[in-house]
Structure 1
Amino acid sequence: MKNITFDNIYNLGKVVAENDQYKHFHYTEMLTSYSSNFIEFKHLPSLSEFLDAEEYLREYHLKRGQNHVKFTFPDNEKPTSELISFFNDNGYEIGFMELYAIKPQQFPTSANNPDIEVAFVTDENIEIFCNLQYQHNLEYGSEFADQKHELIKRQFKNQDILQILAFYKGNPAGYVVVIVSEETAEIDNLTVDEKFQNKGIGRKLQQYVMEAFPEKIVILIADGEDTPREMYKKQNYQFQGFQYEAQKVYK
């Protein structure tokens, strides 16, 4: 399998500044998206280097009405104990993401369940897709949900971003977004509505992706401290690496 890194992961944000230490990503159309508005360090910074970057990003975001800062660190490197102490003392959330990949033929297929129907999003069902996501996104506030609603509509017109919807007994039950590149198909935002969990819908959505892109390497990222990562391992996804991140939301 081709070597997969976090560089293969799709990022909405555009590089607005870059130097020897970091890249600064920004996405004007969705200022509330922490994962699209952040600094990516090229090497582990010293505390003084981090403080300079923090000051720069905080000022940049304040001018645009953003109340957060977020930083990611180089693949497979944990921040120094000095940095972690600073984060803990100054209200940062620290976590890490894990990167997984699989060849579609390695994904374990499941028996057909006639109660589950999966299909690409089209003009006929785009509003169902939007409404289901909107209800889930309200958890992060109405501003975020509204901006995500507009993003979904923009992505619907992008031929490299495909949206997939699952129904259970005719009811909208889950969805996933697939970002297609020359060599990979990235699973993003895999979600099953709480009312329909533990019915095999998430597996069926993944299987649909595997069957749609048999020649691609299917990739995804998972929270390194959350339970879905264990499910991916059981489904034959291969661990490719980790990436630490730190973010702070100002009240």
Structure 2
Amino acid sequence: MKQISFEDIYTLGKVVAENNVYKQFHYPEMLVRYDSNFIEFKELPSLPEFKPVEKYLREYHQKNGQKHVKFYFPANKKPTTELNAYLEDRGYEIGFIELYAIQPKHFPKLVNNPDIEIKEVTEENVETCLHLQYQHDLEYGSEFANQKKDLIKRQFEDPNILQILAYYKGNPAGYVDIIISNETAEIDNLSVEEKYRNKGIGSKLQNYVMETFPQKTVILIADGEDTPREMYKKQNYQYCGFKYGVQKVYQD
């Protein structure tokens, strides 16, 4: 398996500024998507180094009508005690993500379940995909859900992104995006309707990725404090590292 790093993960956004300290991503098509509008530090900053970058991003986002700031720190490095205390005092959400990878041949074999059907998103069922995701995305507000709907339409036209739907007994039950590169297939945006969970739908969606791209390394990002990461370990994914991220949403 090729050496996997966070550099292999797809980032939706354009690099609008870069120097020796950081790289800034911006996505004007969806300003409310925090994971597309952020700054990624190249080296772990000290508190005096962080503050001017924080001020810069806050002002940049304010000019664009954005109410958040988000920062990622270098892979496999934790914020210093001083920086962490400052972030907590300023009301930042602090968390970390984990990177996992697997060779498709190592994914556990599944027992066939005729109740579950997997289909690629086409012109015939794209509206089903849009509706299903819209209902999920309303959790983050109607503005986000509507902008996400436009994003899904754009990604539907992208030859490097494959959108997949899962049906349970004929009912739309889940979805996943597969981001395709030369050596990897990235599992992204995996979700299963709450009433259809614990029926093997998530595993079936993953298995579709394994069968479709048997020669690629399959990769994904998991929330470092969420339960699915334990499932990935049981499914033979290999842990490849962590990355800390912090974000803050302002009220004005």
> What TM-score bracket applies, with the shorter chain setting the length?
over 0.9
- Listed as ranges, the matches of 1:93-112 within 5 Å are 93-112=93-112
Residue 49 of structure 1, CA deviation: 1.1
**Cα distance in 2 for residues equivalent to 1:125 and 1:204:** 19
Deviation digits for residues 166-216 of structure 1, max 9, x if unmatched?
000000000000000000000001100001001000000000110000000
Deviating above 2 A after TM superposition, structure 1's stretches of 4 or more consecutive aligned residues are: none
Find the counterpart in structure 2 of residue 58 from structure 1: 58
The share of aligned pairs that are identical, in percent, is: 70
Residue 236 of structure 1, CA deviation: 0.1
**Cα distance in 2 for residues equivalent to 1:61 and 1:78:** 25
Q: Unaligned regions of 5+ residues in structure 2, if any?
A: none
Q: TM-score with structure 2 length normalisation?
A: 0.99
**Cα distance in 2 for residues equivalent to 1:112 and 1:123:** 27
RMSD: 0.4
| DSSP 3-state at the match of 1:51 | helix
Query: Is 1:11 equivalent to 2:18 in the alignment?
Result: no
Query: Is 1:235 equivalent to 2:210 in the alignment?
Result: no
Q: TM-score with structure 1 length normalisation?
A: 0.99
Q: Unaligned regions of 5+ residues in structure 1, if any?
A: none
**Cα distance in 1 for residues equivalent to 2:119 and 2:212:** 11
Deviation digits for residues 134-186 of structure 1, max 9, x if unmatched?
00000000000000000000000011000000000000000000000000000
Find the counterpart in structure 2 of residue 34 from structure 1: 34
Find the counterpart in structure 2 of residue 23 from structure 1: 23
Find the counterpart in structure 2 of residue 164 from structure 1: 164
Residue 48 of structure 1, CA deviation: 1.2
| DSSP 3-state at the match of 1:53 | helix
**Cα distance in 2 for residues equivalent to 1:62 and 1:246:** 18
Query: Is 1:82 equivalent to 2:85 in the alignment?
Result: no
- Listed as ranges, the matches of 1:50-199 within 5 Å are 50-199=50-199
**Cα distance in 2 for residues equivalent to 1:242 and 1:112:** 34
Residue 13 of structure 1, CA deviation: 1.1
**Cα distance in 1 for residues equivalent to 2:249 and 2:5:** 28
**Cα distance in 2 for residues equivalent to 1:130 and 1:79:** 38
**Cα distance in 1 for residues equivalent to 2:201 and 2:160:** 24
**Cα distance in 2 for residues equivalent to 1:52 and 1:214:** 46
Deviation digits for residues 42-100 of structure 1, max 9, x if unmatched?
00011111100000000000000100000000010001001100011010000000000
Aligned residues: 251
